[in-house]
Structure 1
């Protein structure tokens, strides 16, 4: 396969001899951008929900892709062409043994891609209005009836949802935390159980159609504001293409949310409802937005796990997957949480904080690191100053805690869970976090780390030998902090957990997670 790809990156492999060829790939396709034309080859993969493992199947689905996409882009999809093996190498549309099949398309203007317009801040309501004007008649005219309606049945919807959960099980702990996974699973199952009549009403109302299946910004392109192209629909699985029109619309609405365009997301749905008179779409919208965000997260996981994809793209896919799962969690009504690991130097709070960060996949902010960033220092650069002097003077400490608060608020607002790791010996600093949690309406749990004095002294002496450790804590600093530590009486008992940190960090993390679950349940009441 490497030789095939290599040959198809040369201009001589194309009848029109393009000056430049660019290869892009997903988990299921190789896409060759060749001048004014595009050729797409399907990868020989089997993910369960699609099977491209034989040449015959790849040809069949290439043909289906052309037929289905001509519904919205009749002038873009030119046909299916062979990839042949010749004495000079592999070629598109030549004479020789057919080794692959490709979908041939006209190339759409890069500057008109909706994803690019979003990146450049150039998307307007006029763009969305043009799209809605195209989609309303498309769905009204799209195929429906008994064969299509079964894809909108609760039985099929449940199968699709459960398939997602099964296929992402191995990515729990890597792309999303177990807590969020179990929350989304539970909410989705409960919604389906409690809204059986709604799914039936959608079928009876004629809202189940042979639609697009992959309606988001990467598959929408504008020719200025004269024409809009909606391309690359799902051809490989009717279960994903056919269904409630709300499922398609939820995808683009979710995508706009993902890019921070919530106002455009609302406008898009409002205009569609106004023109289509589909008022009950709102009743099921968040369910399908959760489903669609989860699908995108799943695809990101597949890309991250794909061999042959460049490492940089894989890491970007994993980062995006985590954000999509965060969005799914939000649609399911989940709230991000704030964990504050605090206590005196040497009490083990940073070891516990890093363990929680790894297990919960939360954002982690350490005061030692933040303090040194503000001072323009590397985390490993040490400043062994006297208590509350130099780098640790009160004014620098205030700047550090203000920055921790700012970062926590930004992450929580974006839907990320947060672990803060700092001494927080002053009541005033802790109260600002309680105020933040009330303001954002998120659960908060304080973990007070404690240990016997002899253990702390041994830890601090050992830490001094670890060059990469960011803390500058020493025994004399611990003693000074202890004299000035303000007892956490302002923290409600249900939001405070005291831990003696002489146990292994994994054991302590399990105790924290157990208490966190209790905190989340109380918060949800």
Structure 2
């Protein structure tokens, strides 16, 4: 279709008689690269005849192929929403969806859902975020892995769109925001990229570059009939979807943080990591969060360069662009990590407390029950109940589990994140290993010690055991064994410990304040 005729086609598609089904009224949504028409029970998405460098919709054949690719990709996560590719026939001033005659355009036909179903239109619950994290982790696990001989996920392919974002943002006048912001972000991006080249290449060769969604944020996720549907995957540029899974989740985490939902962003990240164990992605997360914030800033910059904006919308888009730039800058600030261990007998409430803390603090929660099962390739909720010292609970397996927790904790602290290690820690020597880790790293350390009357512990364990929906396999026999083996906190440990009876847990704000007060900066022995 002639570029000049395209606006007439868009105007004509607002008429209900352009559709082969009831469609009155027709609603129109425009993005920087597409037009979507909400018509009756369906939605139709047309691609703008544009070439932006990172995408090329400049010919009808390219637009048709991209429609077909969009259908294939989105049926992975929303098969009931994506119905087919249909021709727009007739003329620019009298079009017909799926009618006879010459093809003017192609459109992706979708099942329509209420706009209120979009996650960026509703208040999100923790339970929904957990489900979303599990769905995304399972989606990533079943995706095809990029051929290591391809360009996908190479260090050069990672850097190129990052720099292109900055180029396109610079092309837009963004005053009054200081333009040296872009210089700082480019300097940081190039420097960080250079330092991360070995990790980027390592993850590519280890299979973490996969055919992802590519554009996973709240505006592309809906709750339809109670089911999570992730749609609108990137079809126009394979390099933008064959990416490290770390880049994928960075977009959603950044989007949640930008919306003011940082606690839910932390919850998503921790649940995703629990499900797939890819803690190494934390080494790249800030790098990709900067990139994703700049993607959103670029989208706003492109909109600012389009002629159809009214002054009020232009002002709003300019402010949004600036807000994303400020968010990107917040991610380049250095962090000082801290280490917290949560100890206590089975049933004392360690994991419940840790789950509350990980929404309030920017920490990564490592749970011994989950990491023990991961060592043996077992699902976190698979029952492995056996006699004492049998199954996956023989003494050496316990030593392996603590060694894994220590190794993971050390790595995550090195990535700049606070760590909370959740285990019974009934042996003082095992607590000392983590205290020594904090000393070696010269970082703050604290102990969260939880307990409750024994009858409360037994009741909790019996109820959890009956429900069989938790990673812990501990039963009352295990509890009695732990009570006999428990080595109480030493006087030195009590100096940086928070002790809580969880049968009468204080308000979370009080717990947080006590933890902050308990943190002690550890120094290497030679400095003491």
- Which residue number in structure 1 is paired with residue 298 of structure 2? 298
Residue 95 of structure 2 is aligned to residue 94 of structure 1? no
**Matched position secondary structure for 1:99:** strand
- Which residue number in structure 1 is paired with residue 249 of structure 2? 249
Offset of residue 167 of structure 1? 2.0
Cα distance in 2 for residues equivalent to 1:158 and 1:4: 38
Paired positions, count: 330
- Which residue number in structure 2 is paired with residue 159 of structure 1? 160
Give a deviation string over 1:348-387, Cα, whole Å, max 9, x none: xxxxxxxxxxxxxxxxxxxxxxxxxxxxxxxxxxxxxxxx
Equivalent position to 1:41, from 35, 42, 46: 46
Query: What aligned pairs does 1:24-423 form with structure 2 within 5 A after superposition?
Result: 24-85=29-90, 89-117=94-122, 122-146=123-147, 150-171=151-172, 173-174=174-175, 176-223=177-224, 226-333=226-333
Offset of residue 148 of structure 1? 8.3
Offset of residue 176 of structure 1? 4.4
Contact 2:92 2:104 in 1 (8 A): no
Contact 2:146 2:152 in 1 (8 A): no
**Matched position secondary structure for 1:67:** helix
Cα distance in 2 for residues equivalent to 1:143 and 1:72: 14
Query: What aligned pairs does 1:12-27 form with structure 2 within 5 A after superposition?
Result: 12-27=17-32
Give a deviation string over 1:48-81, Cα, whole Å, max 9, x none: 1111111111111011100111111111111111
Offset of residue 315 of structure 1? 2.5
Contact 2:212 2:248 in 1 (8 A): yes
Q: 5+ unaligned residues in a row in structure 1: which ranges?
A: 336-525
Give a deviation string over 1:397-449, Cα, whole Å, max 9, x none: xxxxxxxxxxxxxxxxxxxxxxxxxxxxxxxxxxxxxxxxxxxxxxxxxxxxx
TM-score calculated relative to the size of structure 1: 0.61
Q: Against the structure 1 CA distance between its residues 87 and 293, is the aligned structure 2 distance closer, same or farther, given a 3 Å change threshold?
A: closer
Q: Against the structure 1 CA distance between its residues 177 and 113, is the aligned structure 2 distance closer, same or farther, given a 3 Å change threshold?
A: same
**Matched position secondary structure for 1:152:** coil
Offset of residue 137 of structure 1? 1.6
Offset of residue 332 of structure 1? 1.5
**Matched position secondary structure for 1:171:** coil
Offset of residue 150 of structure 1? 3.2
Cα distance in 1 for residues equivalent to 2:273 and 2:206: 14
- Which residue number in structure 2 is paired with residue 9 of structure 1? 14
Contact 1:176 1:325 in 2 (8 A): no
Offset of residue 105 of structure 1? 0.3
Q: 5+ unaligned residues in a row in structure 2: which ranges?
A: 1-5, 336-528
Cα distance in 1 for residues equivalent to 2:197 and 2:94: 57
Cα distance in 2 for residues equivalent to 1:103 and 1:310: 28
Q: Against the structure 1 CA distance between its residues 164 and 248, is the aligned structure 2 distance closer, same or farther, given a 3 Å change threshold?
A: same
Give a deviation string over 1:268-322, Cα, whole Å, max 9, x none: 1111011010011111101000000001001100011112244433332221111
Contact 2:89 2:98 in 1 (8 A): yes
Q: Against the structure 1 CA distance between its residues 279 and 56, is the aligned structure 2 distance closer, same or farther, given a 3 Å change threshold?
A: same
**Matched position secondary structure for 1:16:** coil
Cα distance in 2 for residues equivalent to 1:114 and 1:136: 18
Offset of residue 135 of structure 1? 1.1
Offset of residue 86 of structure 1? 5.1
